[in-house]
Structure 1
């Protein structure tokens, strides 16, 4: 039986979930795990991806029978060919499908490996006296390795993929209609599930919630009344939440008004009547808003599966990129267009989008502003060409 290197997510007593890398004997590998712990401010998903990327490095080291610490500090260390021709090529390969990975995936792997080696060499250097010759030689070696790896990044041709990320008006309307729980032919297996699906997608497309934010909502975070709202709250890790990865609110919390009456009515009916039907299917009670068919807090995998089923069943009317991310992009781009039409300045729109999306960076809103500008330009071009033909007639 072939032994495999594994990544295991460990739940700490504080409620934090942090992945660890296990070697072929099932034992933790100290250096990369210490590196992951040093980045524990990152999300569990990000750290898990980093761990899998470092597994590629350690798989290569194992096959070549290289002890990383000894090799980094040896008088004769890695040469350019070992880094650029061997290690980098390992990072390019998709072992499961026997083909090269995309430039984005490769660059992510390369970034993680480069940052880890730089971190590890900094740790080794810090253990040496500043005045020693080895301190200086290792510092120089660190800079050389960093340069070699940095030079291997792949450039992707410029594109305007952001125009394809969201749903257009027809696709958005179709999605809402086929999930409408009051419709006889709506998608879903039972009344409670239909309402659950509708409010889940509704909160993402109408309020711009991320999957982690949606799945972190408690019943108490929803207010139904004259002014209905959803409160996105950053909380301490819930030790009792056994979902892996555990959903979390990674960005800024915010209070968002829910102005869509259909969504408000469905939320009220789900919370008052139907959520209890789902909860009764589980032995454990839960405060989370969105529950699975079995009555447990819904997982991120279930959200992904929902969009997969919708894409397959309605492939003629829904886009191939239908996902939680595309709904969030739809929300952001439509909000930008709405605010532009209301006369808000570009800076005010950027600030408003950052608030609504829970972002700290204003620059991350530029893609939606750029999209709205281009869509307006295309619309103006079509109108100009139509008027030009009329004038010529």
Structure 2
């Protein structure tokens, strides 16, 4: 049993679940087709999670149609004592060290997908029944009971260390910029590429997928400079295994700093050109960020670069340093600047949501609360000094 990813002529990546004989398994593939609005990475992950359900069914010789449709329902022991325990295990064989269980977030995500799949299957069948059918109420009740059993199995994630800041402090940010800035006289285009890549993430709060999706044409330099995050149709020539995607809203952001505009211009006209000339394929890539062979850089390469930075400069960078750290740094800094400018909270949330490409205003609460907390503690300290200064 395996998940195979098919590249269609349109450039769309669509996964398909195959059985042991290499034949498609209809039901899960039909479920994935019903979710084609989601990103290809999400669909691949969902199908791999459903694959675990089918592996469990195969091991225990269980017919899903029989258990869901033919009124031979799953027992509580099968769901809680067997399936749930199977989903908690780590089934990956590529790890050097053997892990017995997966982290709570991974388990919960598996449970969510399988719950959605089973619910979808039952709803599809219920939709074929007449409302007056004697079986209608049975399947409604069975679906409610089955979903309730699965809902009881979710694991609360362990509390996070709130004292560990998600973003960089001013001192850590200063150290990072010094560490990645190309050395004087350097002729290595990779150093300049890495510098531009990190500075874009730090200056605009870009996600790795957004940085790697940028095209040269998205950077407009001139009297009014800007950079555009643009959602495009799938690139049929892009063969990266984890294809970078822009999952949320596109946006056009101003480049107001002249130094940043200048460095972007130099990178595009000089250092990226050197990388582009190393491309030996017949495809002319127009992505902004290229690897050392002149091809589009992969998400795995960004992850590896940040890991190297963290390990090599552990005395300067936090233990949780990652691309997300730069996004948190950008968001916290922008919240502080908006607050200091006197912008009201609702408008600050809207501004942050636009800058970050988010659809939900509630996702900005973590940043508005953090700045409120810092300001409250500042005045608390002032109050205490007044008391003890008497």
**Same fold by TM-score greater than 0.5:** yes
Instruction: Tell me if the contact between 2:87 and 2:110 (Cα under 8 Å) persists in the aligned partners.
Output: yes
**Cα deviations by residue, 1:333-366 (Å, 9 ceiling, x for unpaired):** 1100110011100011011111111112111111
Q: Which runs of 5 or more structure 1 residues have no equivalent in the other structure?
A: none
| Pairs within 5 Å for 1:193-232 | 193-232=190-229
The 1:234–1:98 alpha-carbon spacing in structure 2 relative to 1, beyond 3 Å, is closer
- 2:284 counterpart of 1:285: yes
Map of 1:71 onto structure 2: 67
Of 265, 271, 275 in structure 2, the residue corresponding to residue 274 of structure 1 is 271
**2-structure distance, mates of 1:308, 1:143:** 45
Map of 1:340 onto structure 2: 339
**2-structure distance, mates of 1:68, 1:253:** 41
Map of 1:109 onto structure 2: 110
| Pairs within 5 Å for 1:153-302 | 153-156=154-157, 159=160, 161=162, 164-183=165-184, 191-283=188-280, 284-302=283-301
Quote how far apart the aligned CAs of 1:136 are.
Answer: 3.0
Map of 1:58 onto structure 2: 54
Which secondary structure state, in structure 2, belongs to the residue aligned with residue 99 of structure 1? coil
Q: Which runs of 5 or more structure 2 residues have no equivalent in the other structure?
A: 93-97
Give the aligned length: 383
**2-structure distance, mates of 1:282, 1:226:** 32
Map of 1:94 onto structure 2: 90
- 2:151 counterpart of 1:150: yes
**1-structure distance, mates of 2:231, 2:163:** 29
**1-structure distance, mates of 2:150, 2:82:** 12
**Cα deviations by residue, 1:248-304 (Å, 9 ceiling, x for unpaired):** 222111111123344322211111111111111112311111101110011111111
TM-score (norm 1): 0.91
**2-structure distance, mates of 1:142, 1:332:** 42
TM-score (norm 2): 0.92
Quote how far apart the aligned CAs of 1:74 are.
Answer: 2.6
The 1:162–1:330 alpha-carbon spacing in structure 2 relative to 1, beyond 3 Å, is farther
**1-structure distance, mates of 2:135, 2:331:** 53
Instruction: Note the aligned Cα RMSD (angstroms).
Output: 2.1
